[in-house]
Amino acid sequence: MLRALLFCLLMLTPATASAQTLVIAHRGASGERPEHTRAAYELAIAQGADFIEPDLVMSRDGVLVVRHENALSDTTDVAGRPEFADRRRTQDIDGRATTDWFSEDFTLAELRTLRTRERLPELRGTVFDGQEVILTLEEVLDLAEAASTRSGRRIGVIPELKHPSHFAAIGLPMEAELAGILMARGLDGPDAPVIVQSFEVGALKTLDGLIDAPLMLLVSPVGGPADLPGTTYAALLTDPGLAEVAAYADWIGVEASLVVPRVQGASGRATDLPARAHAAGLKIGVWTLRAEDRFLPSDFRGDLRGWFRRFEAAGVDGVFTDNPGDVR
């Protein structure tokens, strides 16, 4: 596949020209700063991350903004803002009724008035709450470009489209907007320091027709793509399924247990998924490695770097982590 062959060139450009497993800063250095904030991204870059990850949702006026979900209460102060109390509502998101404040009900200017906060305060504290505003995709791309210039190494950006079929259904399609931004910046080619992710197949197929930048299908251990009822992620990880994915994507990004399962709380024997993905012409990333012991298998408590190396040994090409400074 031409896309896969051309994408191999990308691996020579971020950070250093080596075969090292890529370190992908999951929402920035989100183990140490509130996720998707400028501070989290800048810290991740300072710690040597190869890529930073902005999750993307849409504002009411069609701007791609950076939040893990379109539901805002977990990571902003919206619940404490009386002027927005009447925006709280219930809607169906990917088949689940969700009650919250949603990005699509706010203009960018209104979103800018909110302040970010830590999503896991019981683990990571609240000392950095209230200090930053919500970023746009364009601002994250600017940040990565400026950091690349300062550091002399290429900082990649790996945006994820969140709930693209939901946004399309309410008249806010994401794919063309993202493609337009990347094309305007010359980041739409196979050698661009960009990988676009989604859990939905349709979004990636649409992007495959718009840009040549590498694409990643995200895969969970359960369920299936929200836009393909009746299709399971398990089916997409069979050899025929991987061959099908390789027709429109360059990577799969899988939950870590699909590569190293846990057996009675400890790490088990690695699966053959990396080898099978590579045989299909796909690269493979895993998500998400975190430093807190509650997220680590019992045999790697206090040893995130060792846990990271376990995946390197299993043959993966990239690892998403909340703690990029602790894995190399």
Measured CA to CA, the distance from residue 293 to residue 197 in angstroms comes to 28
Three-state SS for 100? strand
Closest to 255 measured CA to CA, from 290, 214, 294: 290
Q: Which residue has the tokens 């320091």?
A: 193
Our answer to whether residue 278 is catalytic in this structure is no
d(CA 199, CA 216): 9
Q: What is the dihedral of CA 71, 143, 50, 150, to 10 degrees?
A: -160
Tell me which residue of 66, 22, 46, 248 sits closest to 161, measured CA to CA: 66
H/E element holding 244?
helix 239-245
Contact (CB, 8 A) for 224 and 241? no
Main-chain dihedrals φ then ψ at residue 39, nearest 5 degrees: -60, -40
Give me the residues paired with residue 116 across strands: 76
| Given the residues 36, 68, 163, 166, the one annotated as active site | 68
| C-alpha closest to that of 272 among 261, 288, 287 | 261
Q: How far apart are CA 177 and CA 191, in angstroms?
A: 20
Euclidean distance between CA atoms 159 and 261, whole angstroms: 27
Verify whether residue 26 is a known catalytic residue: yes
Q: Which candidate in 26, 36, 163, 166 is catalytic?
A: 26
Residues with a known catalytic role: 26, 68
